[in-house]
Amino acid sequence: MPSPVRQALEYAAAMLGFSGLGVADAHAAQGDKLAHFVAEGKHADMEWMARHLPARYNPELVLPGVKRVIMLTYEYPRQSARQAGGSIARYAQGEDYHKLLTAKLADLDETLQFYGGAQRYFTDSGPVSERFFAAQAGLGWIGRNGLLIRPGRGSYCFLASILTTLELPPDSPMPNRCGNCHRCEQACPTAALQNGCCDARRCLSYWTIEAQTAMPPEIAAKQKQHLYGCDACQEACPWNRPHAGKKMRIDPHLLMPAPLQNATAAALGALSQDDFARFFAASPIRRIGVEHMRRNTETGNF
């Protein structure tokens, strides 16, 4: 029978719109895959990954006395809403998910405080191996594209984590069900996916979002319609087939507004700094800045 804490947490999470919840042992052995990834330079110039590596391997450095990592999923749109040329990654179609989910995590933190827990919480914003712990918590498995894949729901979701000092019963991981499928690797425009790892140095999402330097010619030649991010590996995944997750609730804050649906790549590239800030005021796209957006429009084929 679920503990009263778990029951209260699941009820509160469902009311806040989270689609899944699982609990993992904060001290589960993570292996050396991430360390090898950084040592081989596959994180490109995302130096924060190397800088926070010790904390990712040791959650005690993030929250002393931590016992469990509570992992949650939150759905984002499964279909692209763009009407004009230039694709935008589905996760970034609506409002900034960091702000949206952080407020919800604060509410769950209050619930856990009521039961005597101390917490820290993040959504893609802290030194937590979120995909690893989501798999440990039984929410899915890590696919060959490096993303969490959930049976019947696929990979179109945000992950959020709550580190807690409460000793909740942990859930059990599920087996990897990718089998012999390599469609994500085959669909990657730049061959960035190999052996279940995404090499950022070749990834279009990295070059159109994170990179601080100009895109190399050999990558730019593959950019084509990718204006911001790339969903090619998710689009190819059988677990994301069109009817999967069709009953999942999508927060209206994550839907693409009409001005962005219809804005051409050329128009977005021509925005002044002030106009760019206003146009993307509530969007995660704002963080790349007007110059990066301009580079993306110049290297793509729109």
pLDDT (tens digit per residue) in 272-289: 999 999 999 999 999 999
How far is it between the farthest Cα atoms of the chain?
Answer: 59
Closest CA to 77 of 242, 232, 254: 254
Reported confidence tier of residue 54, pLDDT bands at 50, 70, 90: very high
Report the length, in residues, of the chain. 302
Note whether 71 and 134 are within 8 A (CB): yes
What pLDDT does residue 149 have? 98
* Res. 243: pLDDT tops 70: no
Kindly state the average pLDDT of the residues 217-229.
97
* Res. 235: pLDDT tops 90: yes
Question: Distances in Å between the alpha carbon of 191 and those of 183, 203, 232, 284, 300?
Answer: 12, 8, 11, 26, 18
231 is catalytic: no
Closest CA to 71 of 145, 31, 19, 118: 19
Structure tokens at 71: 């992992």
Q: Cα(86)–Cα(82) distance, rounded to whole angstroms?
A: 8
Kindly state the average pLDDT of the residues 248-258.
95
pTM equals 0.96
Reported confidence tier of residue 183, pLDDT bands at 50, 70, 90: very high
List the end-to-end C-alpha distance of the chain, in Å, as a whole number: 56
What pLDDT does residue 246 have? 64
Looking only at the bridges linking them, the beta strands covering 193-194 and 197-198 are: antiparallel
Determine the residue type at 79.
Q
* Res. 242: pLDDT tops 80: no
Beta bridge partners of 122: 161
Closest CA to 156 of 254, 30, 256, 85: 254
Q: Cα(117)–Cα(23) distance, rounded to whole angstroms?
A: 14
What pLDDT does residue 249 have? 86
pLDDT-wise least confident of 55-59, 146-150, 238-242? 238-242
Work out the mean pLDDT of the chain and round it to a whole number.
96
* Res. 181: pLDDT tops 90: yes
Determine the residue type at 231.
D
| CA torsion angle 111 114 116 121 (round to 10) | 30
Q: Cα(208)–Cα(231) distance, rounded to whole angstroms?
A: 12
Structure tokens at 11: 């009820």
Question: Distances in Å between the alpha carbon of 232 and those of 185, 222, 290?
Answer: 9, 12, 25
* Res. 1: pLDDT tops 80: no
For 86-96, write each residue's pLDDT tens digit: 999 999 999 99
Annotated catalytic residue, options 25, 45, 109, 124:
124
* Res. 39: pLDDT tops 80: yes
Kindly state the average pLDDT of the residues 164-190.
97
